[in-house]
Structure 1
Amino acid sequence: MNIAFISDIHGNATALEAVLDDIKQQDIDKIVVLGDLCFRGPEPKKSLDLIRNLDVPVIKGNADAWVTRGIQDGEVPEKVIGMMREEKDWTVQQLTEDDISYLENLPEHVTETIGEKKVYGFHATPDSLFDVVTPDTSDEDLKKAIMEKEEADIYLYGHIHKPYVRHIDGKIVANLGSVGLPFDGEAKASYLIVSENSTSIRKVSYDIDHAVQKLEDYGYPQGGLVADVYHTGKL
């Protein structure tokens, strides 16, 4: 049993299509999606449709919550909240009422079994869509933030857009990175494959110039900022 876990697409359908094509080349039995499907990219509707057409488990991310109920005070720095609300409003305009309802009703956790191993997935932490757990977090803090709520062998999350795999007390904690908006300094789409014997990150090249052109074609607010992330892999 091999499962591909993807997350943080952020409306970058060009990167998502490249990842889905790469998954087809692997020995994959199932795909699971850990949130952040539409917001902050040029093709929210196409990205959402691609995911919904897969008919696979999908959970909610913080950006999905922003699309459905708005960005609340204190959730992002005050200096950028106006800009991000403009992006949110643009994103909502591209979606249907059914799309919004779909995002609103997504669950916040997913459990999978691979052989004898239990995999527990969530977007940021088991208790929050917004908390940030970075790759350099200490083992003790990582256990408190990630591993205490649910007993599992493998814990997976997205949100931070920085992929890593850690081994702690015989268990695994891993971040998937981001399909559509990487922050790890590598301008590639990232996802993760879990099998009975391995947990590994995959990086996929995609047509960044095409994705940037989509930002321009559709008049995405703050398109220059997003294009810079596409090119550099940094926020």
Structure 2
Amino acid sequence: MNEKIAIITDIHGNYSALKAVLDDIEGDQEIEHTYCLGDLVGIGYETNEVLQLLSSRADISFVMGNHDEAILDIIAGREPYSRGSEKIHHQWIASHLDRKFLPFLKEIPVTLESIYNSKKLYFVHYHLSEQNDFSPLDKEPSDKKLDEHYRTSAADIVCFGHHHVIHHFKSKERLYLNPSSLGCNYKPLAPYAVVMIGEQGDISVSFKEVAYDNKEFLLGFKSQNVPDADYILKIFYGDQHLKYM
């Protein structure tokens, strides 16, 4: 029997994009489970709406993202990885986070592993260093570099996010998959991936893009006085808000 899962990542506090994707996933009755690869919050400002929806679902498993980790660090009084304007942004997100979601966030692990039809899957927000920290972003990834990083791994499929572009590498060793950021896009589209693993171990990957109305979300950066809104809207959303002004 085929086994089918959905992979989402980098929601970044974008509730309308998340709702559109989860509704699309629910339309496929064959999808057994959804894996979320971190950065639930940060960048977007709909922190509590996103966490309310995600924490209410029993059919989604999570791993910790760097933005999630930074905001937890700030709330706990620890120094986050972020500096400058990014740290100010994280402090603002932390100050608006409903504390009832802290137990949910604190329980999220850094990695997960699962097996579907004998294939071993490894889930992580981004590649980890030997110190178990997130590695610096590699803007020119390759199957060779990924094979070297995961040379001791027994995984057949490595699923990750963080880099907001699709990765789909197949080496002799394993498959590497990043469906791209669900919540940050230069178009009103929310991407995710579906992985189907057959009885004989055959693997099929589908990349999906769900259209949604992002007008209210984009305009909210200014009305909510989100720190560094102009920079965020340009870098992560391609200044799409300008067509509504």
| TM more than 0.5 | yes
Distance 2:139 2:187 in 1: 15
1:2 is paired with a residue whose SS is strand
One-letter amino acid of the counterpart of residue 190, structure 1: P
1:69 alignment partner, one of 67, 73, 78: 73
Distance 2:232 2:189 in 1: 14
Equivalence for 2:200: none
1:215 alignment partner, one of 221, 236, 240: 221
Structure 1: gaps spanning 5 or more residues: none
Work out whether 1:200 is the aligned partner of 2:206: yes
Equivalence for 1:189: 190
Distance 1:133 1:90, change over 3 A: closer
Distance 1:90 1:65 in 2: 15
What CA deviation, in whole Å up to 9, does each residue of 1:132-179 have, x standing for no partner? 45464233211122x224211111100111112111005211112111
Q: CA deviation at 1:47?
A: 0.8
Q: State the identity as a percent.
A: 27
Structure with larger Rg: 2
One-letter amino acid of the counterpart of residue 224, structure 1: D
Structure 2: gaps spanning 5 or more residues: 198-202, 241-245
Work out whether 1:113 is the aligned partner of 2:145: no
Work out whether 1:140 is the aligned partner of 2:144: yes
Distance 1:168 1:187 in 2: 32
Equivalence for 1:24: 26
One-letter amino acid of the counterpart of residue 137, structure 1: P
Which shows bigger deviation, 37-46 or 120-129?
Answer: 120-129
Distance 1:135 1:204 in 2: 25
Residues 124 and 132, structure 1, Cα contact 8 Å, conserved in 2: no
Equivalence for 2:233: 227
Task: State the TM-score, normalizing by the size of structure 1.
Answer: 0.86
- Between the two proteins, the alignment pairs up a number of residues equal to 225
2:183 is paired with a residue whose SS is coil
